[in-house]
Amino acid sequence: MPLAPVLVTLLAPISAALILCFLKDAQQALVRRIAVAATALSLLGALQLIATYDVARAGYQHEVLVPWISGLGIGFHVGVDGISAVLALLHALCAFTGVLISYAIKERVREYYIFYLILIAGVFGVFLSLDLFFFYFFYEMAVIPMFPLIGIWGSDVKEKGAVRYSKEYATMKLTIYLTLGAVVALVGLLWLYVQSGANTFDIPALQRHFANTPLSPELQRWIFPLLAVGFGVIAPMWPLHSWSPIGHAAAPSAVSMLHAGVLMKLGSYAILRLAVGLLPDGAQYWMPWLASLVVMNILYGGFVAMSQRDLKLIIGYSSSSHMGYVLLGIACLTPLAVNGAVLLMFAHGLMTALAFAIVGQLYDQTHTRYLPDLGGLAHQAPFIAVCGVIAAMASSGLPGFANFVAELLVFLGGWDKYPVQTVCGVFGVVITAVYMLRVVRGTFFGPRKPAFNHVHDAGTLFDRLPYVVLILALLVAGSWPQPMLRLIDAGTRPLLQPFLGITP
Amino acid sequence: MNLALISVELVACAWILVMLAADLIVPADRAGGPAARGGEEMPRAAERAAGRRSSFWLWALAGVGLCAAMLMGQTQTGTFQDMFLADGFSRYFKGLFLLTTASVIVMTREFGGLSGEDRPGAKARAPLGAFYMLLFTALLGMLTLASINDLLMLFIGLELLTFSLYVMAAYLKTDAKAVEAGMKYLILGSVSTGFLVYGIALLYGFAGSTSFPVLRQALETGPVPLTAQAGMLFVLAGLGFKLAAVPFHMWVPDVYEGAPTPVVALLSVGSKMAGAVAILRVLYGPFMPLAGIWAPVLAALSAATMLYGNLAAIPQRNIKRLLGYSSIGHAGYLLMGLSTGTRAGAEAVGYYLLAYLFSNLTVFLVVVTASEAVGGDMLDDYKGLSKRSGGLAAALFIGLLSLAGVPPLAGFVGKLFVLLAATSAGQLWLVAIGAVNVAISLYYYLMVVKRMYLDAPTTAAPIRLHPSTAAALLLLILGVFAVGILQEPFLTAIATAFAS
């Protein structure tokens, strides 16, 4: 089946990147159109995946399997379940809007889109792969383009006019951290493969194999932390998070959107899919530790976000704080909380992408992200200001947005399992409200500043499109969460099967 | 005597003579440096043109010879006089050696010191035909090493290769650094040859023969005295020198920095591959019964080699030195695969070498080409290269990332197979060190990328590529991607090669 929606979704950005390699630098308009077309195709593919996913049947669907290295049991196996379908949609939305936001990039446009499309394809690949080899393959493929993307088109993080983190430092730190995490996870994956004795890298096949002949709990306890910590780096799990806010802040806005919106979800997705899915006993053993660790994520990230003055750093620390909720939900290992965690990945991804798009739009014109310098921008850019307030409301978890539903589910699930950690976590919501309101006040409200009179709003329909798409998706998923939750449940239920009997 | 078995070697031999004679036949100004030419009446422009022409003819002639050797191929299998083994394994690696030599020939044209182009400050030009002759002797040595079935053949092949490289490393004889490189290589190389010969002697004393099958039988049956064990370790030490494994790596950085870059490419790819091939031959041949002794030794050396090579590469400022240390790091991965003592490990080494060949030759071809244009081999000379030549920068980017082991490039799959083989052999600690080294190596490779892509160039002059260089680069990059994405056909080829 040559036109399977999974393949369309995955191959559209790859082919577009290949085509761009053969174009000339001067053909900027064409380059941009190809990128938009490719991500639009991916978005359609992702929508198609969700529309035709049979919730009643659950499990993996839309599978395409091409044997690749038969001797080692490696196959190009792609497909989706409820979890990856939702995350693929999230990524498609962020990628599409990100490409639109990238119209702000003016120099070395062709190279930019090549790297950006490779990044997009890599992330799609991780979400859609059902084979450990290709999972890792695409994972690394997603990490490496970040290096030139941040290094070339990013910006230094400044404080009071002085450089606090240069973009070179930020991008190198990000790449090395993520690669180190990836190789740690790789050791775990190889160990898992060898010990399984099933001679296959195929994830569903491994799950079936482990259902009959599980690995010894002893061994699972050894392998689980390798996967959880390795992939936890990108999640980003405290105390391995320090690359993340700096990386967000230094990246160009469209890359920050993908980075905070989707790339971080690769970590939590990998933990859920591989560490929890393949090593249930290991998960059972280590999850209380993880739950305590992520409280640090939530509170520490929140407090640090409160004390920042750079808009992107605030959102960056806020992201690492909010990813704590996601990991807390996963740590519960109950359907309620895990469903909430997956929905939160979706909601938080859209919200952060929206926030970074807004900051990017403002930064391109004001050339500052330093909070004390900003203010009164609602006068010059009312539409952006409205979007900013919406993003802040979504981030604080107001009812009506998907974030609210998702956080509620995580807390409800967490209360049963880890009451202490959950109570601590709930305080994170208060902290979020504090810094988000401060950002909104400091950026948009207050007296009109004449220095920003040149700032123009997102005026045309085309300019507004990315914001509208993201806000619409947030509102739809928030006010009508049932279909999406059913979809997620179809993915998490088979995954959590081993825990349902054991959990109290 | 079935001469078809050694057809490739015969062509290489013939071409050694052809290239030696070519210096006499092809009209060239072999008079040497600018001082010698000062008194001549020929106008400098015409002289340069003549130099270019003659060097082109020599270059083409060398290319023809290599094509002839490639076309000869090795079609039959069998043993030649019991000393020389022609099987799938040797065919596979002979293909790789020929590919390496072809790339080195392309590089030689680009390298100013050898190509006959006068440049400001150019060194006295050495006769080019003889350089190609040495290239073919080195090739002959490598081809022989792929087919060894006797300790004497091992010695002959290794010395053919090494002696050619001694001379080639010091070929620019007015360049102090090159001479130092050649000298250093000669002295340290001689010491390692001493080890090798001593090892061979001890083994001969034990088994009464230098033939691999006889040796293997002797090691399998009888109790193995300490002298024979020491002999084996001495042989491995001699070969470790070719591989540039710690602690036999001391020559690498200086020789890499000083020798002409095409020679460095040959050292880095061809010579290292020859070392690995010879080790494969001896370990999985006569020394297999002693796996209990050499496996832990190689595993320990592997860890030390990876860590030393990659950590020492970090502070380097010269790209050739950096690649030297990086090649030490890669030797560590090769040792990791070898130390498993399993078929999977050997095949992983075969795949790793294939990946390493394409990636490293890509890198060296760019370095040779770029160093002429950017005016040096320092890392800072590469600042802003992407703005001067997008193609060269992209090629170096791809080559370096492949060396670091990033998918979808060749190096990733090579590393993965080696790590997988080591995991299967239960050496998890070694796998962990190898995995961490991926991240370490990525750091210094990215520092080069940073200069090319992030920094501003000092001049904006675009760099033009010669068609032969561009075509070779394109082919090598295609190879990097093909080996990285379509593993199955290569794996099948390797599996058949290692079946023997």
User: What secondary structure, in 3-state letters, does A381-449 show?
Assistant: CHHHHHHHHHHHHHHCCCCCCHHHHHHHHHHHHHHHHCHHHHHHHHHHHHHHHHHHHHHHHHHHCCCCC
Q: Strands B78-80, A162-165: parallel, antiparallel or unpaired by DSSP? A: unpaired
pLDDT band at B196 (very low <50, low <70, confident <90, very high): very high
Q: What is the pLDDT of residues B121-154, one digit of tens each?
A: 444 456 778 888 899 999 999 999 988 888 999 9
A175: which chain B residues are within 8 Å (Cβ-Cβ)?
A: 442, 446
Is residue B303 in some structural domain?
yes
Residue in B424, B438, B454 nearest the CB of A168: B454
* Best residue of B415, B438, B485, B490 to probe chain A, by most A CBs closer than 10 Å: B438
User: Which pLDDT score, from 0 to 100, does residue B38 have?
Assistant: 41
Distance from CA of B255 to the nearest CA of A (A): 30
A111: which chain B residues are within 8 Å (Cβ-Cβ)?
A: 386, 390
B424: which chain A residues are within 8 Å (Cβ-Cβ)?
A: 194
Is residue B175 in some structural domain?
no
* Best residue of A123, A139, A179, A233 to probe chain B, by most B CBs closer than 10 Å: A179
Q: Strands B78-80, A157-159: parallel, antiparallel or unpaired by DSSP? A: unpaired
Q: Please tell me the distance from the alpha carbon of residue B234 to that of residue B249, in angstroms, as a whole number.
A: 16
**DSSP state, residue B268:** I
Beta-carbon separation of A68 and B487 below 8 A = yes
Beta-carbon separation of B488 and A148 below 8 A = no
pLDDT band at B307 (very low <50, low <70, confident <90, very high): very high
Residue in B407, B419, B446 nearest the CB of A140: B407
B491: which chain A residues are within 8 Å (Cβ-Cβ)?
A: 69, 71
Place of tokens 């060269």: B392
Q: What is the pLDDT of residues B470-484, one digit of tens each?
A: 888 999 999 999 888
Beta-carbon separation of B443 and A176 below 8 A = yes
A150: which chain B residues are within 8 Å (Cβ-Cβ)?
A: none
Residue in A141, A183, A194 nearest the CB of B435: A183
Check pLDDT > 50 for residue B39: no
User: Which pLDDT score, from 0 to 100, does residue B121 have?
Assistant: 43
If contacts are CB pairs under 8 Å, which of residues 69-108 in chain A contact chain B? 69-72
Is residue B210 in some structural domain?
no
User: Which pLDDT score, from 0 to 100, does residue B74 have?
Assistant: 65
* Best residue of A66, A107, A169, A186 to probe chain B, by most B CBs closer than 10 Å: A186
Nearest CA in chain A to B484: A137
Share of chain B above pLDDT 90, in %: 32
* Best residue of B442, B478, B498 to probe chain A, by most A CBs closer than 10 Å: B442
Q: What is the pLDDT of residues A423-463, one digit of tens each?
A: 888 888 888 888 888 888 888 888 888 887 887 777 787 88
User: Which pLDDT score, from 0 to 100, does residue B43 have?
Assistant: 52
Beta bridge partners of B150: B211
Contact A313, A245 (CB under 8 A): yes
B443: which chain A residues are within 8 Å (Cβ-Cβ)?
A: 172, 176
Write out the residue range of the structural domain in which residue B427 sits.
Answer: 298-500
Instruction: Tell me what the pLDDT averaged over chain A comes to.
Output: 86
Q: Please tell me the distance from the alpha carbon of residue A345 to that of residue A54, in angstroms, as a whole number.
A: 22
Backbone angles phi and psi of A129, in degrees to 5: -70, 140
Distance from CA of A183 to the nearest CA of B (A): 5
User: Which pLDDT score, from 0 to 100, does residue B52 have?
Assistant: 65
Count of domains in chain B? 1
Is residue B29 in some structural domain?
no
B449: which chain A residues are within 8 Å (Cβ-Cβ)?
A: 147-148
Tokens of A435: 């810094």
B439: which chain A residues are within 8 Å (Cβ-Cβ)?
A: 176, 179-180, 183
Is residue B118 in some structural domain?
no
Q: What is the mean pLDDT of residues B162-184?
A: 86
Beta-carbon separation of B431 and A190 below 8 A = yes
Beta-carbon separation of A68 and B488 below 8 A = yes
Low-confidence residues in chain A, pLDDT < 50: 1, 503-504
**Chain B contact present for A18, CB below 8 A:** no
Instruction: Tell me what the pLDDT averaged over chain B comes to.
Output: 84
How many A×B Cβ pairs under 8 Å?
Answer: 76
CA B162 centroid distance within chain: 11
Residue in B420, B442, B449 nearest the CB of A176: B442
If contacts are CB pairs under 8 Å, which of residues 133-192 in chain A contact chain B? 133, 136-138, 140-141, 144, 147-148, 151-152, 168, 172, 175-176, 179-180, 183-184, 186-187, 190-191
Nearest CA in chain A to B485: A68
Write out the DSSP string of B409-443: SHHHHHHHHHHHHHHHTT-HHHHHHHHHHHHHHHH
* Best residue of A72, A187, A229 to probe chain B, by most B CBs closer than 10 Å: A187
Contact B182, B167 (CB under 8 A): yes
Count the residues in chain B: 500
Beta-carbon separation of A190 and B442 below 8 A = no
Write out the DSSP string of B287-320: TGGGHHHHHHHHHHHHHHHHHHHHHHHTT--BHH
**Does residue A453 or residue B397 have the better pLDDT?**
B397
Q: What is the pLDDT of residues B54-111, one digit of tens each?
A: 677 777 777 777 777 777 766 677 777 778 888 888 888 888 999 999 899 888 887 7
- Look up the ipTM and state it: 0.89
Beta-carbon separation of B428 and A168 below 8 A = no
Q: Please tell me the distance from the alpha carbon of residue B286 to that of residue B200, in angstroms, as a whole number.
A: 12
pLDDT band at B198 (very low <50, low <70, confident <90, very high): very high
B438: which chain A residues are within 8 Å (Cβ-Cβ)?
A: 179, 183
Tokens of A127: 């979400």
Is residue B495 in some structural domain?
yes
User: Which pLDDT score, from 0 to 100, does residue A312 have?
Assistant: 86
Tokens of B50: 């003549």
User: Which pLDDT score, from 0 to 100, does residue B285 have?
Assistant: 84
Check pLDDT > 70 for residue B186: yes
Tokens of A498: 């081993």
Q: Please tell me the distance from the alpha carbon of residue B244 to that of residue B454, in angstroms, as a whole number.
A: 33
Tokens of A39: 């991500």
Is residue B244 in some structural domain?
no
Beta-carbon separation of B431 and A136 below 8 A = no
Distance from CA of B301 to the nearest CA of A (A): 20
User: Which pLDDT score, from 0 to 100, does residue B265 have?
Assistant: 92
Is residue B37 in some structural domain?
no
Beta-carbon separation of A147 and B449 below 8 A = yes
pLDDT band at B353 (very low <50, low <70, confident <90, very high): very high
Residue in A151, A179, A187 nearest the CB of B431: A187
Beta-carbon separation of B412 and A152 below 8 A = no
pLDDT band at B162 (very low <50, low <70, confident <90, very high): very high
B436: which chain A residues are within 8 Å (Cβ-Cβ)?
A: 180, 183
- Label residue A202 left, alpha or beta by phi (over 0 means left) and psi (-120 to 50 means alpha): beta
Q: Please tell me the distance from the alpha carbon of residue A410 to that of residue A328, in angstroms, as a whole number.
A: 7
**Chain B contact present for A26, CB below 8 A:** no
Contact B333, B435 (CB under 8 A): no
pLDDT band at B432 (very low <50, low <70, confident <90, very high): very high
A133: which chain B residues are within 8 Å (Cβ-Cβ)?
A: 416
Q: A212: burial class by Cβ within 10 Å (0-12, 13-18, 19+)?
A: exposed
Q: How many helices (H) and strands (E) does chain B have?
A: 22, 2
